[in-house]
Amino acid sequence: MTESWKQTMDLGLVHFMAYPVIKDEGPILESAEAIARDDFFDVLEVRRSEQPGMHAKLRALAEMSGMRLGVGAQPGLLLNKLSLNDPDEAGRAAAVAEVKKSIDASYEMGAALCVCLTGPDPVDEAARKHEVDLLVDSLVEICKYSQDEAEDEPVWLSVEIFDDKIDKRCLLGPCDRCAETATRVREQVPNFGLTYDLSHMPLLGETAAEAFTTLGDYLIHIHVGNCQMDDTEDETYGDMHPRFGYPGSRNDLPELKEFVQSLIYSGYFEREVPTVKPVVTFEVKPYGDETSEMIIAHTKRTWRRMWAEL
């Protein structure tokens, strides 16, 4: 069938999830080349690397293949247990510094968007209010840093919305809290938005329609994937991104279809975003005997079947 989605969006893949290299090791360039050879994907989301010359190599690969790159700051924050809303000033400063390194990496790789996440939700309402204030300060500081580093258009910072009760238990979080926080940040800096993930929607107990209505124009980036939240003994329990239709999981073709329909009706694909086109990125991970290559093929087939039904 005609891949008509290419007229309105770019499909991407989270590299460090499909090829689990969250610790900045393994065959990063080789696996990125495998994705670059596949013209189904137009965007590759990578983590920053401390391997000498890796950013330049990834940028050259993207330019040679016609792909675009995005940068995910989540691995560095999660691995080092850093929080942008940490009430400890030294801890919050370390988190801000980590995201600034990913902003630097974004410029080095020619990426327009850098995605991060918040720290944990303190649950207590008074503490939560204080940590939202700290988070706003952190995000504004990072966005201003990005503006200062820009020679032309600044790299945009986007906060990915995670669950607040089951796995990551992040401050952002429920959509109303996300929208309120984004409003406060945007009042001070323009290069900020939010990333919403189909994988996290069941964990949050939300629907796509209510989420997109609440988030409105703050929504600048989309992830799609799956989650499993029934069997706590299964290795995929929580925010672990198994393939679509994984046994006991929440998202398969019907849920993906409803999600994309809601994106269409919300106007996401007509919205002005910092990327060349609105981006929808797959976040899937192999488990057990599954291989990255088979999971990627499964993801592409699921998308094509879904699009055919649309």
What does the alpha-carbon distance between residue 61 and residue 65 come to, in Å, rounded to a whole number? Answer: 6
Which pLDDT tens digit goes with each residue over 123-156? 999 999 999 999 999 999 999 999 999 999 999 9
Which pLDDT tens digit goes with each residue over 268-307? 999 999 999 999 999 999 999 999 999 999 999 999 999 9
Cβ proximity of 238 and 166 under 8 Å:
yes
Domain boundaries, the chain: 4-309
Give the pLDDT of residue 1. Answer: 42
Q: Answer whether residue 159 shows pLDDT above 60.
A: yes
Give the pLDDT of residue 2. Answer: 56
Please identify which residue in the block is written with the tokens 């809303």.
85
Question: Quick one: tokens of 227?
Answer: 């989650």
Over residues 89-96, the mean pLDDT reads: 98
Instruction: Specify the amino acid at residue 17.
Output: M
Tell me the average pLDDT of the chain: 96
CA atoms within 13 A on the CB side of 22: 12
What does the alpha-carbon distance between residue 143 and residue 137 come to, in Å, rounded to a whole number? Answer: 10
Q: Answer whether residue 20 shows pLDDT above 90.
A: no
| pTM: predicted TM-score of the whole model, two decimal places | 0.97
Cβ proximity of 155 and 191 under 8 Å:
yes
Radius of gyration over every alpha carbon of the chain, rounded to an integer in angstroms: 18
Which pLDDT tens digit goes with each residue over 182-224? 999 999 999 999 999 999 999 999 999 999 999 999 999 999 9
Which pLDDT tens digit goes with each residue over 97-119? 999 999 999 999 999 999 999 99
CA distances from 256 to 129, 250, 260, 280 (A): 34, 10, 6, 12
Question: The domain 4-309 belongs to what CATH superfamily?
Answer: Divalent-metal-dependent TIM barrel enzymes (3.20.20.150)
Cβ proximity of 222 and 196 under 8 Å:
yes
Q: Is 219 helix (H, G, I), strand (E, B) or coil?
A: strand
Give the pLDDT of residue 3. Answer: 75
Give the pLDDT of residue 289. Answer: 95
β-strand pairing of 192-197 with 156-160: parallel
Nearest Cα to 161, choosing from 198, 125, 114, 187? 198
What does the alpha-carbon distance between residue 138 and residue 145 come to, in Å, rounded to a whole number? Answer: 11
What does the alpha-carbon distance between residue 48 and residue 183 come to, in Å, rounded to a whole number? Answer: 28
Q: How many residues in the chain? A: 310
Binning pLDDT at 50, 70 and 90, where does residue 23 land? confident
Over residues 88-95, the mean pLDDT reads: 98
Q: In which region does residue 254 sit, left (phi positive, over 0), alpha (psi from -120 to 50) or beta (all else)? A: alpha
Question: Quick one: tokens of 27?
Answer: 């065959």
